[in-house]
Amino acid sequence: MHSLGSVLRSLWGVVEDLSPHGIRAFAVFGSAARGVDFIPCRSDVDVLVVAPSGAGLPRRLGIPELGPRISIALYTPEELEKLLSSGHPLLLHLYKASIVYLDDGVLSSLLS
0.75 exceeded by the pTM? yes
d(CA 31, CA 95): 13
Strands 25-29 and 98-103: antiparallel
Percent with pLDDT over 70 in the chain: 77
d(CA 13, CA 29): 17
* Tens digits of residue pLDDT in 86-109: 998 988 888 888 989 889 999 999
Average pLDDT over residues 15-29: 79
> Is pLDDT larger for residue 44 or for residue 57?
44
What Cα–Cα distance (Å) separates residue 83 from each residue in 36, 38, 60, 91?
A: 27, 26, 17, 8
Q: Do the beta carbons of residue 71 and residue 93 sit within 8 Å?
A: no
